[in-house]
Amino acid sequence: MPSGAPKGENCLVDMDSKAGDLFSAEDAHPTGTGGGGVLAKLWLPKGISASMAKEWFDKRRLSIRPWASFVDQRKFSKPRNFGELCQRVVKNVETYNSNYTFIFLGLILYCIISSPMLLIALAVFAGAFYIIHLKSLESKLVVLGKELTVPHQMSLAGAVSLPVFWLAGAGAAVFWVLGATLFVIGSHAAFRELEGSDIEELLMEPV
């Protein structure tokens, strides 16, 4: 009996195109008003488009150094002096900046997921901003004779959700993320030995 499931070539899926659908802004709605990608359907502030977000993400993803080399314990050692420590930090931050960026984003994600109250606070902020933005689309929002711009709308949503963020301990979460990021990145940059090409580049630099 025919099961109705796709067969043959129809089963092949282009994973790159599927990944691109996340950011795709091509018209998918019959009226031409709907974006095809998930992020394209979300409202983004003026000056920030889905294509810009995809371009930034792709650049970071392509410039990531191999994680196996990034955490290779054989390439870690104590710097001999303060000068070598500074050289390592500067050069490693330049070399592994994309890896460090994803570590920072991962710590933020972990902090949010591990705190239900913080998730609720973010949901309240997003909901408040969404409602305010919809109202501004229906008619201009004017306060004290001035129209509310996008930054003003975000500030208003932040003020509405501030009590929830305070109850969720958002301040402590921010300091935790910053502290953990500085510790992880600082330790890696200080103890990760420079590659041979990096050492040659430093030796060739004029004094």
Structure confidence at residue 164 as a pLDDT band (50, 70, 90): confident
Whether residue 191 lies inside any domain: the answer is yes
How high is the pLDDT of residue 202? 52
Q: 196-204 and 82-95 are packed helices; what angle lies between their axes, rounded to 10 degrees?
A: 110
Whether residue 156 lies inside any domain: the answer is yes
Per-residue tokens: 170: 């958002």
Q: Domain tally for the chain?
A: 1
Calculate the dihedral angle through the C-alpha atoms of 12, 13, 17, 18, rounding to the nearest 10 degrees. 170
Whether residue 57 lies inside any domain: the answer is no
Whether residue 11 lies inside any domain: the answer is no
How high is the pLDDT of residue 30? 39
Supply the range of the domain harboring residue 83: 79-203
Whether residue 197 lies inside any domain: the answer is yes
Whether residue 21 lies inside any domain: the answer is no
Rounded Cα gap, residues 169 and 30, in angstroms: 45
Structure confidence at residue 191 as a pLDDT band (50, 70, 90): very high
Is the confidence at residue 27, as pLDDT, over 90? no
CA-to-CA separations, 23 to 155, 178, 179, in angstroms, rounded = 26, 28, 32
Is the confidence at residue 95, as pLDDT, over 50? yes
How high is the pLDDT of residue 197? 58
pLDDT in tens, 33-66: 444 444 444 445 555 567 777 787 788 888 888 9
Is the confidence at residue 18, as pLDDT, over 60? no
Per-residue tokens: 90: 């500067």
DSSP 28: -
Tell me the mean pLDDT in the region 135-151: 73
How high is the pLDDT of residue 184? 95
Whether residue 175 lies inside any domain: the answer is yes
Is the confidence at residue 104, as pLDDT, over 90? yes
Tell me the mean pLDDT in the region 87-93: 91
Rounded Cα gap, residues 169 and 165, in angstroms: 6
Is the confidence at residue 172, as pLDDT, over 60? yes
Whether residue 147 lies inside any domain: the answer is yes
